[in-house]
Chains A and B, each alone.
Chain A
Amino acid sequence: MLAFIGRRISLALLILFGSTYLTYQLAAYSGDPLAGVRESTDPNKEVIIRELTRTLQLDVPPPARYFLWLQKALGLATGTPDFGNTVLLRFPVIDQISAAIPITIRLLLISTILAIVLGITFGVLSAIRQYSRLDYSLTFLSFLLFSLPIFWVAVLLKEFMAIQFNDFLARPTIDLASNLVIATLLAVIITGFVSGTRKRVLITFGVSFSTVFLIFFAAGATEWFRYPSLGIFGITLLGASCAVGFTHVFTGLANKKALGAGLTSVALGAAVYYPFGALAGPGTNYPLMLAMAILMLSSSYFVGYFFTKIDKGPVIRVSMLSAFFVGLFTVLDKLMQTWDTYYELSNGRPIETMGSYNITLQSNDFWVVNLDLLTHLILPTTALTLISFAGYLRYSRASVLEVLSMDYIRTARAKGMPEREVILRHALRNAMIPLTTLIAFDIAGLLGGAIITEAVFGWRGMGSLANEAIVTQDLNLLMGTFSITAFLAVMATLAADLIYSTLDPRIRIRK
């Protein structure tokens, strides 16, 4: 095993050397870094050119210059890695990158997690109900999402989710005609998820249509979108429905222990609603929030643990998931209470189309600052989630279908195991193994940034650094961003191989 890892790492280093070399040459021959200076009308142009040629060592031909770069980057001479300075403003490349990394992670982490969770959930559903209306709808949806250019989606999102929504917030009432349209659309989507007889479909359509219609009618009448809140009542209601839902999925509603544990967690969450509101004031900080989240989750773990004596796993899962969602709703409620303040601070344009945060925001309130981050995140995250969602949907569907045709699934069914258990204990676990590879690659790709998305939404993350480096012929900057991305990509391949062989005993690493 150690020999294998050692061999793979040395190979990975070799690949890294090769690809950085090739990239360096490609980039060096893709343009003239002095083009901007040459065209300028600066009287001491010659001096600048000479100076730049000296500092960038442009007199050395690129194939050899790479080694000068490599020597500095590895820190062979000084002991500390030095990626050089950017050409234009002479900032150290390292500083640029360390400023860009948190932005990129913020941009990609949420969308990656959302895409993974939603993609796998719907992929599994789609596979279990193969050739149902749900399956066809999701297949069509995923193909549609596969076919969308992301910046085209971005323009649409900017128009409809930001500009028009902001306009709507100025007069947040919903007229009858648009309410009917919304209700019909949502009802059609919800109906797409059920299958069965025509009667059942029609009933679902009717119920969801009237529910949506009533909700939006109430929201419009109370100007909910302008003054949103959930309140302790809303949180308890939503939390309880989550608990019931998770119980239904993981154990079946017949399992009163699981239902009881889930509902207890929800009650616990509701009980700390007011203490939380008092504790998490404007001056709160991340460590405090994290501590509270950990406290909430661990107490829900014990709720699940002590609620039942047999088969604790699913019960704990239900109780922890319910607690997680109650916590999420509580935080959401807190953010909603801040919405009005933020609305005023952002001059009535809360959903932002550009940038990663509002530079002119005048507030130190923890909640206002975070709401600001969220309103900037919402468009790029939606766009990225839509694009990546389709991939996870297709792969988890294919993977589950493959597993469901296995003999051990037939055996599990034949011995009388309930279908829920067959899916959850036998099918899902095995179907998720191949997906770890994808997840490993995606997580490694996080730091690479999303060049197009960052460009469209004006984020200064790793993607836009790379883009800028190519546009301005900045070799140091390009090589700095690229080395990190390539390193992570190579390591992800290795990590994927190792994780895979640990999870799947049939795959053995050759000695």
Chain B
Amino acid sequence: MATNFRKKKNTAPVMEGGETGSENIEVVGLSQGQIIRKRFFQHKPAIAGLVFMIFFTIFVYSAAGIHLGTEANKISIPGWWKYSHEDILPQGSCADGCPSPDHPMGQLPNGRDYFSLVMRGSEISLMIMVVIGGLAGLIGTVMGSVSGFFSGIIDAVMMRFTDFIITVPVILIGAVIGYNVGNFGVLPLAVFLGLFSWTGLTRLVRGEFLTLREREFVDAARVAGASNRRIIFKHILPNSVGVIIVSTTLLLSSSILVETGLSFLGFGVQPPDVSLGRLISDYQGEFIYAPWLFWWPGVIIIAIALSINFIGDGLRDAFDPRQARRINRKDFLAKSSTRDAVNKRK
């Protein structure tokens, strides 16, 4: 049973015991980590997604270079692409600004090179995605663990707080950031969005903790005199890591879409900066006359979100091959994290 070798993981850390008996692997058996890795690598769409994401990230960051900091003190490492997204260039070989060897994704009417804009936009979108996902993943895990493990009054307070955060509209947060801290760039936006996106994951982790803390191995640990801290970090958390990783992955793919939607409404990334969402919403009117301005950012967003969704699916299969977990209402409610994301996108 899935749950049995999950439990075993507590005594056999992920990296141990593979290489020594590699010629005799069937007999020696695989550690939990190896089983997961093996299963993940058998999931072809997930591998395709992973490979795409790795190459795409390297491509984007090397092409556009790395630019950090505010206008006043900027750290810039130029990329290999010859133009910057801020250059105003003379018209290239194609009169309407259509794609040409010099400008592979075409040019804007004002002469900017669209390839460099798309690269810069992807860079920012990826950054926002990672910040939101990372922050929300961290907060969600901590809140969910505490809430699920200690239950009782702490749980009640924290869950009502979660309900409270859910009711605050994301668009309003975008607007507040845009007005008050808009000039600091996109990082504050991403941080604030992350601070309000952890609710789904919290419910999920809480559900997992509620189930696991009733299990025998936790009782055993408690009887053996383990502290709460040890039980959380050594016994329960390693067993719920699958759930956390999977839903954080899905959080990543939904956060890129949330950013896109906010930018479309004008509350996301603000003008001197570009993001993929910003690019689509700025040039959707050009669909008939300059369709490449519309297609490129859209296709890239879809490719990123699709790859991440497939990676998430692969991870889910790897961590939980049988969908044999008991139906648990809390657990199911928590699964609505992607659901929330869908609603935000409307």
State the A residues within 8 Å of B (CB): 11, 14-16, 18-19, 22-23, 26-27, 29-31, 139-140, 143-144, 146-152, 155, 159, 384, 387-388, 390-391, 394-395, 398-399, 401-403, 405, 433-434, 437-438, 441-442, 445, 450-453, 455, 463, 466-467, 470-471, 478, 482, 485-486, 489-490, 493, 496, 500, 504, 507
Contacts and interface: CB of A to CB of B under 8 A. Distances in A.
B288 A159 contact: yes
Interface string B259-272: 01100111100000
B333 A437 contact: yes
Contacts of A471: 266
B160 A11 contact: yes
A150 B260 CA distance: 9
9 contacts: A23-B168, A146-B253, A149-B257, A149-B345, A401-B323, A405-B324, A438-B336, A451-B171, A507-B329
B259 to A, nearest CB: 10
Prevailing SS type, chain A contact patch: helix
Interface stretch (B79-87, B91-99, B175-183): B175-183
Contact of B261 (A23, A151, A155): A151
A434 B264 contact: no
A29 to B, nearest CB: 7
B342 A489 contact: no
Prevailing SS type, chain B contact patch: helix
A148 B325 CA distance: 30
B332 interface: yes
Contacts of B178: 30
Contacts of B306: 143-144, 147
A30 B288 CA distance: 36
Nearest to A22: B168
B294 to A, nearest CB: 7
Most buried by B among A146, A490, A507: A146
Contacts of B289: none
A31 B177 CA distance: 10
Contact of B335 (A30, A151, A395, A485): A395
Nearest to A390: B342
A37 to B, nearest CB: 17
A148 B164 CA distance: 28
A388 to B, nearest CB: 6
B309 interface: yes
Nearest to B178: A30
B329 A434 contact: yes
Contacts of B166: 489
Contact of A147 (B164, B309, B327): B309
A121 B287 CA distance: 35
B251 to A, nearest CB: 12
Given A30-B176, A405-B324, A148 B171 contact: no
B280 interface: yes
B171 A470 contact: yes
Given A146-B338, A147-B304, 20 more contacts: A14-B160, A16-B167, A26-B176, A27-B172, A30-B178, A143-B313, A146-B342, A147-B302, A147-B306, A150-B261, A159-B288, A391-B342, A394-B338, A434-B327, A437-B332, A450-B346, A452-B345, A455-B265, A489-B166, A496-B333
A489 B167 contact: yes
A147 B253 contact: yes
A67 B287 CA distance: 48
